[in-house]
């Protein structure tokens, strides 16, 4: 069960975006597993993609199409990653775009393909082709929640956020959906995320907005330390609200940036709360560092440590595992005698050794909670970074052992 997470009851429409879903028997015969997003003309789009060297065919095609044209459609399938599929997989991704473009009356490079699921299997092209007329006929601006469901794989709940804000004297809508539960240590974004606003933003500025938002949200989460071959995050600005931001000195840009950051942060944390087999939501804060890079590296070493994560699952205050993870990370750049470590409000290590005030009972009480903060103070600077992670449970092993069966 996800940790303190319920799926949204509804998600708000964004003017200029319509969505549709249907069942193409890619993931499951009993649920929708393919989604189409239609983007109105004159919109701006920005995207970030996985840095995995074995990036999937749809990532390669989407990046190329985005560099050539402004997208009008996104095609997303769940259940098949179309990764590790060589020339055939690349050609299938291109063919999806060509066939959909013919169906919808646009150019093939105005379609961005996205896939998520099992690696190394070919797309069922006939099933996908047969879904296009259904998708075209059912496009609606009220299908955000349906799409959040359709793009899931091992997610137990759909993930989505809607915000209504005021920019100047205009009401502006932001809605985002994401999928992700395992194979999560994004090195750009999350497994898949789609965020739209009816604010108008210059395309160059929109890229800056997205990269800033991703860096503090999707690039600060970890379920298992594995970066997917298919990670992608898309930000759409339709301009239908009649708000137009074209200058980076526009004060409205700062406000919009903060709201986009907030949506991305909520979606990113939803992924951790729904981590495969997760029973705990953990914030790892490393502060007092000489550099942000040092703090981030140490935070990730804690967040990815199997020994720390299994201790969290067992509610075991085995703080030796935490100091071992801290000590192996850039050891030459830290002074062990200055380090303090806290579990929530409980100090467990002070000046590099067990705090005199620490008791096993106090540590046990904290580790038994569903939400825990592990805070490391390096005592050598002003920098701070936070990473969100979860525990590693029996169910994580079971889910991934049975994933293809």
Q: At 311, which CATH number?
A: 3.10.20.340
Same domain, 248 and 112: yes
Q: Is residue 343 part of a domain?
A: yes
Residues 6+ apart with CB under 8 A from 379: 288, 335, 338, 339, 340
Helix (H, G, I), strand (E, B) or coil at 45: strand
Of 94, 129, 85, 132, residue with least CA distance to 113? 94
Same domain, 268 and 293: no
What domain range is 61 assigned to?
17-273
* Given 190, 238, 279, 304, the catalytic residue: 190
Q: Is residue 11 part of a domain?
A: no
pLDDT at 227: 85
DSSP assignment, residue 333? Answer: G
pLDDT at 108: 98
Band of residue 405 on the pLDDT scale cut at 50, 70, 90: low
Sheet strands (E) in 40-72: 44-49
When comparing pLDDT for 155 and 189, which is higher? 155
pLDDT at 279: 97
Same domain, 121 and 256: yes
Same domain, 50 and 185: yes
Same domain, 30 and 176: yes
Q: At 139, which CATH number?
A: 3.60.70.12
Give the residue-averaged pLDDT of 121-144.
Answer: 98
Q: Is residue 12 part of a domain?
A: no
Over 90: is that where the pLDDT of 327 sits?
no
Same domain, 265 and 336: no
Helix and strand numbers (H, E) in the chain are: 11, 18
Residues above pLDDT 70, as percent of the chain = 98
Cα separation, 259 vs 187, in Å, equals 22
What are the tens digits of pLDDT across the range 247-292? 999 999 999 999 999 999 999 999 999 999 999 999 999 999 999 9
Cα separation, 160 vs 145, in Å, equals 7
For strands 244-245 and 383-390, give the pairing.
unpaired
Contact 200, 172 (CB under 8 A): no
What ranges in 274-393 are assigned the alpha helix state H? 292-303, 306-313, 319-328, 360-367
Cα separation, 42 vs 38, in Å, equals 12
Which residue(s) pair with 350 in the sheet?
A: 353
Q: 295-315 in b/e burial notation, b at 16+ Cβ within 10 A?
A: bbbbbbbbbbbeebbbbbbeb
Got the DSSP string for 121-149?
----HHHHHHHHHHHHHT-BTT-HHHHHH
pTM for this prediction: 0.95
Number of domains present in the structure of the chain: 2
pLDDT at 401: 86
Is residue 190 among the annotated active site residues? Answer: yes
Q: Is residue 358 part of a domain?
A: yes
């Amino acid at each position: 069960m996800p940790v303190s997470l319920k799926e949204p009851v509804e998600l708000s429409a964004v003017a200029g975006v319509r969505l549709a879903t249907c069942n193409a028997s890619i993931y499951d015969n009993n649920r929708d597993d393919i989604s189409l997003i239609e983007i109105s003309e004159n919109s701006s789009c920005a995207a970030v993609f996985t840095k995995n060297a074995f990036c999937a065919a749809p990532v390669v095609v989407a990046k190329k199409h985005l560099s050539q044209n402004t997208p009008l459609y996104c095609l997303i399938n769940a259940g098949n990653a179309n990764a590790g599929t060589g020339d055939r997989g690349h050609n299938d991704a291109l063919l999806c775009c060509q066939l959909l473009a013919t169906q919808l009356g646009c150019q093939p490079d105005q379609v961005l393909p996205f896939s998520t699921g099992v690696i190394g299997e070919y797309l069922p092209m006939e099933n996908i082709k047969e879904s296009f007329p259904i998708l075209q006929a059912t496009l609606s601006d009220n299908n955000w929640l349906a799409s959040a469901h359709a793009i899931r794989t091992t997610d137990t709940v759909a993930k989505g956020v809607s915000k209504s804000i005021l920019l100047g004297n205009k009401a502006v809508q932001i809605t985002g959906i994401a999928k992700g539960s395992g194979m999560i240590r994004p090195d750009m974004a999350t497994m898949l995320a789609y965020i739209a606003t009816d604010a108008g933003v210059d395309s160059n500025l929109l890229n800056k907005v997205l990269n800033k938002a991703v860096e503090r949200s999707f690039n600060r989460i970890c379920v298992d330390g594995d970066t997917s071959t298919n990670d992608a995050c898309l930000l759409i600005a339709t301009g239908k609200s009649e708000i137009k931001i074209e200058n980076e000195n526009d004060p409205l840009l700062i406000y919009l940036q903060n709201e986009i950051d907030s949506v991305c942060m909520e979606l990113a944390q939803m992924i951790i709360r729904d981590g495969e087999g997760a029973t705990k939501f953990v914030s790892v804060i490393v502060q007092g560092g000489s550099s942000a890079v040092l703090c981030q590296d140490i935070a990730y070493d804690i967040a990815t440590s199997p020994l720390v994560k299994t201790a969290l699952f067992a509610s075991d205050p085995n703080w030796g595992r935490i100091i071992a993870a801290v000590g192996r990370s850039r050891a030459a750049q830290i002074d062990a005698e200055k380090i303090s470590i806290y579990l929530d409000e409980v100090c467990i290590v002070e000046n590099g050794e067990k705090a005199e005030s620490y008791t096993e009972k106090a540590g046990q009480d904290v580790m038994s909670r569903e939400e825990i903060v592990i805070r490391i103070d390096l005592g050598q600077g002003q920098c701070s970074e936070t990473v969100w992670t979860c525990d590693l449970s029996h169910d994580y092993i079971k889910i991934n052992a049975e994933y293809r069966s």
